[in-house]
Amino acid sequence: MKVKVRPGDTLWYYSQLFAIPSHLLTDSNLHVNSTNLQVGETVSIPGFVTKPYTISAGDTLWKLAKSRTLLADALFLVNPEIEAENLQIGQTIQLPERVVDSIVKGNRKYDFEDLMRDVQDLQVIYPFLQPRSIGKSVLGKELVELRLGRGTKRVHWNGSFHANEWITTNVIMTFLNEYLLALTNMRSIRGFYVEPLYLEAILSIVPMVNPDGVDLVLHGPSEQEPYKQQVIDINKGSLDFKDWKANIRGVDLNNQFPANWEIEKKRKEPKAPAPRDYPGDAPLTEPEVIAIEQLIRSSNFSSVLAFHTQGEVIYWGYEGLEPPNAETLVKEFSRVSGYEAVRFVDSHAGFKDWFIQEWRRPGFTFELGKGVNPLPLSQFEEIYQETLGAFLASLYMG
């Protein structure tokens, strides 16, 4: 919700008027001098929208404000031209409305268009959420990173490295919306008050690393050539892409990192583009992987969490290079999720492997749920509840 600054207004006053933490107001208005607002400037109030309301007989601004647990000045701020003593029946005014429900609907097929629509809507309601493009996919889709929070801890999450594991994006975005609601409504998640997490940790999220692959699994081939015919050929003529993990060029993005990549290249069965497991002709050839690599190198993350499916395990070691606090973290992740913690697995060239190798910091691969990918949406709620505690733990411990 946007308002115009009046004489004497401050961000602190708005925080009291709308019961919103002052740091959320500051972080929502980086374009203004927060200690010296200028009359007429536009300021965003996070966690609120305006809704038109038609005046009925007996209405007053004070009654309308009280019915919404607001002070009358909130209505004056949103309706600067209004005359409180001269309301007319049938007159339309704008009423501030606190957002208390999630706009992300995770329990559904969730493609790139759904993601971008939700990102746009969330950023309007919660302008302290900062989206930016970190690159483009093969087909030119934006690879969006979302950031929020303050503090010294810097935690990164990502999902949908693998196309038919798209439910990981749903889970991440559902938690993000719940976190935003808890921050602006000053409420808890599982009894845990989350405002300290915002003040202590910067959270970075790339919710869909492989948007071309996700859309391929959900909708079939793009009309864009040469990729339309190429994916059909790679898939041996089948139009059923449910087993597809790779990007649109048939390269497995989680086999593309320079962490003993040569070992994976030699032993992987696909020696050419394939629906899964083909590591490419060299590490870091795919634009999606390059974007992630550049993001990590420029961000000084304390820890990273990559969400995959399936198996209900958390992989947390690589070649003995993981730091001692990684074990402390994974024990807590295991406790709150019920997932098994597995230190070593005979695998290389993955995102988590490369992060641990390069920075000697905690990196984790979460394999959500159990079954055959793509996991059915009937598992969504169970997976979300299993993962919720780990999301929180990654922020207060990471």
Instruction: Look at domain 112-213+284-397 and name its CATH class.
Output: alpha beta
Task: Give the separation between CA 222 and CA 117, rounded to whole angstroms.
Answer: 20
- C-alpha distances (whole Å) from 144 to each of 74, 311, 380 are 34, 27, 23
Question: Mean pLDDT over residues 218-228, rounded?
Answer: 95
Residue 144: pLDDT above 80?
yes
Q: Please, is 263 exposed, middle or buried when counting C-beta atoms within 10 Å of its C-beta (0-12, 13-18, 19+)?
A: middle
Q: How does pLDDT run across 246-292, given as a tens digit for each residue?
A: 999 999 999 999 999 999 999 999 999 999 999 999 999 999 999 99
Burial 18-46 (b: 16+ CB within 10 A, else e): bebbebbbbbbbeebebeebeeeeebbbb
Distance CA(229)–CA(278), nearest Å, equals 19
Structure tokens at 167: 């439910």
> Rounded distance, CA 242 to CA 227, Å?
17
* Residue 109 pLDDT exceeds 80: yes
Asked if 209 contacts 158 with a C-beta cutoff of 8 angstroms, the reply is yes
Enter the DSSP assignment of 376.
P
Q: In the annotation, is 367 catalytic?
A: yes
What is the pLDDT averaged over residues 62-73? 93
Q: Is 136 exposed, middle or buried (0-12, 13-18, 19+ CB in 10 A)?
A: middle
CATH 3.10.350.10 boundaries in the chain? 2-98
| CATH 3.40.630.10 domain span(s) along the chain | 112-213+284-397
Report whether pLDDT(398) > 90: no
Q: Would you call 57 helix, strand, or coil by DSSP?
A: coil
Question: What is the band of 347 on the pLDDT scale with cuts at 50, 70, 90?
Answer: very high
Residue 397, pLDDT > 90, answer no
Range 14-40 average pLDDT: 96
Contact 194, 182 (CB under 8 A): yes
Torsion of CA 7, 8, 12, 18, to 10 degrees: -60
Tell me how crowded residue 86 is: count the other CB atoms within 10 A of its CB.
Answer: 7
pLDDT at residue 320 tops 80: yes
Q: How confident is the model at residue 377 (pLDDT cuts 50, 70, 90)?
A: very high
Q: Report the SS3 class of residue 184.
A: helix
Which is nearest to 316 in space by CA: 337, 296, 345? 345
- How many CB atoms within 10 Å of residue 383? 25
Active-site residue, selected from the candidate residues 367, 381, 382, 386: 367
294 pLDDT band, cuts 50/70/90, is: very high
CATH tag for 2-98 (out of 3.90.180.10, 3.40.50.720, 3.40.1180.10, 3.10.350.10) = 3.10.350.10
What local confidence, expressed as pLDDT, does residue 239 receive? Answer: 97
| pLDDT given at position 246 | 98
Percent of the chain with pLDDT over 70: 100
How far apart are alpha carbons 232 and 221 in whole angstroms? 8
Say if residue 311's pLDDT is above 90: yes
